[in-house]
């Protein structure tokens, strides 16, 4: 990789940050939804594939553990971590149901599904959203520019890019901002 290519990536992230700055109201709204969920005895179920699975686990760790300060543990579950559940559902049903079956088992009306997909079209994440809707859960989606998840969610946080790595970098920033805002209330 040449120096110019590195600078181009840095400049693209600057542009993404500028776009993100215009969407701070959505970040605040997502944080408020999560705070209300916790206040009403609910929990956050988080899902995604690949890098988004890692971000699911990262978000869950920040909420259950801590982000920056010691505080009470907050109820968040990454649906991406139990290999026995994931492989048994994949084998016995289909990969498309790995998250929806967990939402069916664990989700309740006061809960939120936090769904992450750079494309906004991951079939197993969409099935999880549909199951969450059946259970009257709220859905917050974190996506790239567009996708089917956009029309299925209560709140959508978008990153105006098509490069997976750039989208994931902004997703992590959004997750950290939400965790910081939520943690400030505890």
Task: For 32-43, write each residue's pLDDT tens digit.
Answer: 999 999 999 999
Q: Say what the pTM is.
A: 0.95
User: What was the pLDDT predicted at 110?
Assistant: 95
- pLDDT category of residue 21 using cuts at 50, 70 and 90: confident
Q: Which domains does the chain have, with CATH numbers?
A: 3-184 (3.40.50.10490)
Answer for the pair 146, 117: CB distance below 8 angstroms, yes or no: no
Secondary structure, 3-state, 21-68 = HCCHHHHHHHHHHHHHHHHCCCCEEEECCCHHHHHHHHHHHHHHCCCC
Task: For 145-179, write each residue's pLDDT tens digit.
Answer: 999 999 999 999 999 999 999 999 999 999 999 99
The residue assigned the tokens 């959508």 is 156
Range 15-32 average pLDDT: 92
């Amino acid at each position: 990789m040449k120096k110019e290519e590195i600078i181009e990536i840095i400049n693209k992230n600057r542009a993404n940050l500028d776009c993100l700055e215009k969407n701070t109201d959505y970040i605040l709204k997502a944080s408020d939804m999560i705070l209300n969920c916790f206040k009403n005895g609910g929990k956050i179920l988080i899902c995604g594939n690949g890098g988004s699975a890692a971000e699911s686990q990262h978000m869950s760790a920040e909420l259950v553990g801590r982000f920056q300060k010691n505080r009470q543990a907050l109820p968040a579950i990454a649906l991406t971590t139990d290999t026995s559940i994931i492989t048994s559902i994949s084998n016995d049903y289909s990969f498309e149901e790995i998250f929806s079956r967990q939402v069916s088992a664990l989700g309740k009306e006061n809960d939120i599904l936090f769904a992450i997909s750079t494309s906004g079209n991951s079939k197993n994440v969409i099935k999880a959203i549909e199951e969450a809707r059946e259970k009257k859960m709220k859905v917050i989606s974190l996506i790239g520019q567009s996708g089917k998840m956009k029309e299925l969610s209560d709140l959508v946080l978008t990153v105006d890019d098509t490069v997976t790595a750039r989208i994931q970098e902004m997703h992590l920033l959004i997750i950290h901002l939400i965790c910081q805002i939520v943690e400030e209330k505890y």
